Amino acid sequence: MKSLTSELFEYKLRNAGILYNDRALYTTQVQNADGTTATRYGYIDSHGKVSIQPIYTQASNFSEGLARVNVGKTAGYINTKGELVIPYRYSSTSDFSEGMAAVMLAFGGKYGYIDTTGKLRITPRYDHADPFSNGAAVVYVNGKYGFIDKNGNYLLTPQFSMAQPFSEGLAFGHGSGGSTHSGG
């Protein structure tokens, strides 16, 4: 038993990351039909057993029970059983945070937000969008940062040259006039 534990430990250190939602991301090399090799991503469980086969060209850690994965150039989301629950339709995705994820439909398009069912909750209209933190998200529009709520309403309109996520009800934004703090 001791050697199994040490082998598992070494296996995880070499090929896998930290467990999130009882799944750890790992990589392996696969051989393509033309003889070249490619890196593929899959997931192991807390016992080191492969729980989701390494079929993804890109993958992320689980967050709120879902992980973003790519097959080719499009991304979708799987659950911890490896079932595709949000189809491959996005060119860019973020992890779920507070039940929402920032996504881009078309390469070079705008970011919007979906919920954990894949329903579009905030229409794509941002040049960049960060995950939600304390009920607010930093968005980038026309060269300026602002803050939105989960309905897409501006808490602070885009006016800052830099911004940090909300923390303890406060936001930091830096514009030409200095910093602005706003209660949340």
- Summarize pLDDT for 53-73 with one digit per residue, the tens: 999 999 999 999 999 999 989
Residues 82, 69: Cα–Cα separation, whole Å: 10
Neighbours of 149 (CB within 10 A): 14
Output the pLDDT for position 166.
52
Cβ neighbours of residue 127 under 8 Å, at least 6 residues apart?
Answer: 110, 111, 140, 141, 142
Output the pLDDT for position 7.
42
Please give the model's pTM, rounded to 2 decimal places: 0.79
Would you say residue 79 has pLDDT above 90?
Answer: yes
Task: Specify whether the CB–CB gap between 30 and 56 falls below 8 A.
Answer: no
- Which of these, 56, 62, 67, 80, lies nearest to 18 by C-alpha position? 62
Q: What is the pLDDT of residues 16-51, one digit of tens each?
A: 788 899 999 999 998 888 999 999 999 999 888 999
Q: What angle do CA 23, 26, 32 make, to 5 degrees?
A: 135
